[in-house]
Every structure is written in structure tokens, then in C-alpha cells.
Chains A and B, each alone.
Chain A
Amino acid sequence: MALLTERDNTTVMGKIRPVRSRNFALTVPALLLLVVFFILPVLSLLLRSVLEPEPGLGNYQALLGSTTYLKIFLNTFSVSALVTVVTLAIGFPVAWALAIMPSRLSSIVFAILLLSMWTNLLTRTYAWMVLLQRTGVINKTLMGLGLISEPLPLVNNLVGVTIGMTYIMLPFIILPLYGVIRKIDPAILQAAALCGATRWQALTRVLIPLATPGMVSGALMVFVMSLGYFVTPALLGGTANMMLAELIAQFVQSLVNWGMGGAAALVLLVVTLALYAIQLRLFGTARMEGR
């Protein structure tokens, strides 16, 4: 019977549908896992944000009405934006170099990139603390060279957070960008040169526009990941520039205020989803036009 209906489907609706519905069954375990361990907890947090300490939108009023919290939102966005810009500025040349360097060399660079990604996040962040602190390697070297007389404040501030997060985010921009740049035919850049374009013009008028889909997707990924980042800002940042994830942790861990924590988490989630929707829109269509 089942076989018969599938046959019918095949003739009436084309070949894809029955295959698709059969494959759907295979996703059920994964979906169950997501529902139990992700969607339900998020929903419960969402519920707590409107139920605790008393039912209503009080938590959201408190969160969005206070300049202290708004400052934290603003700081979260500006740090994420800064990290995204710096990551792009460093990642683009690296991706370009990777795309044009001989494959032997590029596989070494890739190995370094991946190794750093696979190393424990805490370890890497502490390593930056060692490097950046007042008596750290960087300050000692600079002072030893006589370039500075006082140690530079490189940690527990915006500089520390930006350096630490940029370092962590770099692979997420280099990898997609590398894929896009790899696909650009070098002859197109040769054509641009013969057309009279200087290196700069070839970069700004040809290479960057062609790499834009990769840059947009990489940048959005980095921005969204940065919005919710906790470890690096907590260890390398200062109290003056707290980020949203730190605030949520504080609500839940120190103040045991699940209501406020849930509200802040929901705001973060909404912003993230909105950005994801923008990415899909921009990028989905851009891709289709490109083909």
C-alpha cells in the first residue's frame, strides 16, 4: 500500500517528494534532541523572563529602560562591529594570499588555522593574557627596545577584547572568503590589468565586489558569534566594557535573577535571528543572481 502511494506520488508530483518524505524520518532523532535540550530550555527561559519575579513585561522594561543596561547593549554591538571590521581587514588579505599561494604552502597555513581553532578556548585566552598583561611579553619587549617607558594597557579593556576576539574569529572569516576568492578566475584580474586598471582599481572594482558574498556571510557570522561571546570578554575585557553574555551570566550566577537573565538572553536571540534573516535575504538572492 505504502509502495503504491509512493509510486503515485512519483508520477503525479515528480520524483523528489517521496524521497524527501522518507528522508525526513531520519531527522527525527536529531530534531527530538534539539527540542528536548535546546528549544524547551530556551522556551522555559523565555517563560521565566515574563513570569519571574511576577508575571508581566517588567523584566524587559527594566532591561530596556535602564541606561546601564542600554550601555551594555551598545557596548556589545560596538565591540562586535569593531571585531568584525578588524577581522575582515586582516582576514581578506590572508584569504587572498591563501587562494593564490602554492598549495603546499597554503596547506601549512590551513593546518595552523585549524590547530588554533581546535585548541581549547580558555587556553588560548589565557595565553593572550600572558602576552598582553603589564609585565607580559609584548610590554617587556617594547620597553626593552626603548619604544615605550610605561607598559601599555593592553588587557582588561577594549584593546584586549578586540585582540582576543579577532584572533578567535579569524578562521570564520578566512575560510568562507577563501572559498569565494578561490573560485575567481585569475584571468579576470589579468583582463582588468590589461584594461588599464591599477592594482588598487582591480582590487576595489573587481576583486572586492566578486568576493562580497563571502565577506558578507563571513562578517555576519563573526558579528553574530561576537554578540554572544562570553569567555574572551570576561577574561580580557574590563568592567567598563561589559558585554551582554557577561550580563546574562551575572544575572543568573551572581544575582540568581532568572527573569532578567532570560529577558536579556531573549533580546540577544531576537537580534541574532534578525541578522540571520537579513543574511539569508541578502545572500540567498545575491547567490542566485551571481550564477
Chain B
Amino acid sequence: MTAPFLQIRTLRKDYGIVTAIRDVNLTVERGEFMTFLGPSGSGKSTTLYILAGFENPTAGDILLNGQSLIATPSHKRNIGMVFQRYTLFPHLSVGENIAFPLKVRRLPKTEVDAKVAKMLKLVRLEGFEDRKPAQMSGGQQQRVALARALAYDPPVLLMDEPLSALDKKLREEIQHEIRRIHQETEVTILYVTHDQEEALRLSDRIAVFSKGVIDQIGTGPELYANPSTRFVAEFIGDSDFVTCRVLSARDGRAELAVGKDMTISGVPIHGSAAAGSNAALMLRPERLSLKRGQTGGNGLSATVTDITFLGSNIHVAATVPSGEALSVRLPFGHEATAGLARGDTVSLGFDPASAHVFCA
């Protein structure tokens, strides 16, 4: 049995009395695109900085091909990194920037030149080698930074919100470039972002960080369909929450009472709750069905508060009797939306298996 390619084991980092990350465990396969997703201060960047060697962990270990990296200084880790800020060397040209890691490794000049040309081609910036970084746009600078980080064929490439300084259109363009470069080079990428869309678009797997721990690791669809915490459910995709009462729970499925007269069973439950205690029922706006009129017991009755036309979708905002607001997403032209108006009473239905209950 071979050791996993990259393994992070019970990593912990304390700053004084503040714990930045704890119990971070993660295994990354060779060639995988793994994204650390989370809000600022969730510990995703700290984890990346420990991988880069800029921070020492308080406890835990990082193994690359079974070898611990902790005692190795940054410059000997042979890891590539693209930073959030522009970090090209301003006194060097684009070509010299890409050549820098090769020159400090004392490679022969012919080899350096060939590699620089290859890297410029990879990031599609041929002909720019004599420009100074200050003469290039932000997007171009980050592509050069990517070329510099890949020039020495690092086994792992770290990217710390590399696109956050760019505008939306440019960001999407470079996301495509990153995907293409990942496929061409087959480099293992660890990518940090707070943008769920970016994470979903780029990643093979996503590790969702919250308050210094990894809440869940999985592919985008896994996280969306089976969030294990309320935080993940809120962070990936849109979600509605309704307070409910747990009647009973067995084998990860719960029977719940919602509102006055609705009882449902077979809802996946996360966390432990005593019978009779309150919990949060999570529903996806696009998985809700909407019927006009009263419920008759097998749906949530709600009052429409707003209707928004959004091209292919129509958003219906509705309030349940307890006062909680829900949003429902229906395809344009859905029969239930015809003639629907504010103040109408509707019945919202859902498949219990697509909902989730999170205990406080």
C-alpha cells in the first residue's frame, strides 16, 4: 500500500490564546484540485500558509509522499504558490521573473530559456517576456505569477485567493485558464477562496472551513446534496431554514413536526437531538413545489410576500405562519406562477429525502 500523496494530520495553530485552526485532517490525491472554502477568518489561509512554511503549526503534521514537511524551510519545500496580492519582482522583467526560481536553482542557461518559453506559452503570454510587471494588467500579472510558480515543476501548487483583486469578468476568464492549466500540467492544486461559485467551478473536491475546523470535505454535488452542518448548507448554494420540532430520530432519519399541522418523516438528521427539542429544517429553494390554496396537511402553508422575475427563474418569497421567510425558485412559465400575487396563500411541498435537519 502506498502512502497518500499529501496528508494533513490533526493540524493546529494557536496565536496566543486564539486558536486559528484545529483538528484539520485532509488527504489529497496526486493531480487533484482541492479547494479550501470558507469566510475570512475561518482558517483556510492559515492552513495554506503552514503548507507554504510561512507559519509553524502548534501541533500536527504535513506529509508529502509520506515525508514530513514541517522541518523543511519554505525555500526547500519545492512548492509553488500564487498569492492574493501581486508578488512579481518589480525590478525584473516577466521573463526574468519566471526564470528566477530556475536561476536560484542554478540550472544551465539553455534549460532556463527553454523553460521560460514553455511557461509563457502555457499561460499564453508569448511575446511579453521583456515587459516589466508594472506595465501589465492585474490578470496578466497573476498569469505570470502562475507561470513562475509552475516553472520548477512543483508537486503541489498553492493558490491563495489569486483572483480576488480582479473584476468578475476577468475572474471567470482566468478561472478557465486555471482549469486548462490544471488539466495540461496535472499539478496538484490547493486553492483558497471565499467564493462558493469559484470553488464549485474549479474544484475536484472542496473542504469547507468554518471557525478553524473543516466542517465537511466532498465534491461540489456531495456538499450540495448532503451538507453535514448548517454552515455548509448555508455556504454552498441557496437554502431556506424553518424551525421544526424533532419527534423521533432513528438511523439518521427523523420524524418532525413543522408548524401546526404538518408531520413528516424520513428527513436526514445531523447532530443529536432529544425528542421534543427544536431543530432547523433546511430546504433548497429549487426543490420546493408550490400549489395555490390551503395545504390540507402535506405541505407548509405560507403567504406570498414578493415575486421576482429573473429570466429563466421566478423567485417567490413567502412567509410561514411562524414568521420565517422562505424563498422558492420556480422555472419560468411554471403553471403555479400564473396570476400569483402578493398576499396569496400557497402550499409549499418537498421531498423529505431532499431536506435536512440540523440540531443546534
Contact = CB atoms under 8 A, between A and B. Distances in A.
A194 B90 contact: no
B105 interface: yes
Contacts of B87: 185, 187-188, 190-191
A65 interface: no
A201 interface: yes
B89 A192 contact: yes
Contacts of B132: 289
Tell me the dominant secondary structure on chain A's binding face: helix
A104 interface: no
B75 A187 contact: no
A15 interface: no
Residue in B73, B83, B85, B87 whose Cβ sees the most chain A Cβ within 10 Å: B87
Nearest to B91: A209
A51 interface: no
A198 interface: yes
Interface residues of A, number: 22
Contacts of A199: 75
Nearest to A191: B87
B105 A196 contact: yes
A31 interface: no
Contact of A194 (B74, B85, B91, B105): B74
Given A190-B52, A190-B74, A210-B91, A196 B85 contact: no
Contacts of B76: 196
B54 A195 contact: no
B191 interface: no
A193 interface: yes
A192 B104 CA distance: 10
Contact of B75 (A193, A205, A291): A193
B69 to A, nearest CB: 12
Contacts of A291: 134
Interface in B82-122: 83-85, 87, 89-91, 100-101, 104-105
A185 B88 CA distance: 10
A29 interface: no
Interface in B206-257: none
Between A190, A198, A290, the greatest number of chain B beta carbons within 10 A of the residue's beta carbon is seen for A190
B54 A190 contact: yes
B44 interface: no
Given A191-B87, A196-B105, A290-B134, 7 more contacts: A187-B85, A191-B81, A193-B74, A194-B53, A194-B80, A195-B100, A209-B91
Interface of A: 185, 187-188, 190-199, 201-202, 205-206, 209-210, 289-291
28 contacts: A187-B83, A187-B84, A187-B85, A187-B87, A188-B89, A190-B52, A190-B81, A190-B83, A191-B81, A193-B53, A193-B75, A194-B52, A194-B80, A195-B101, A195-B104, A195-B152, A196-B75, A196-B101, A196-B104, A196-B105, A197-B101, A199-B75, A202-B75, A205-B104, A210-B89, A210-B91, A290-B91, A291-B134
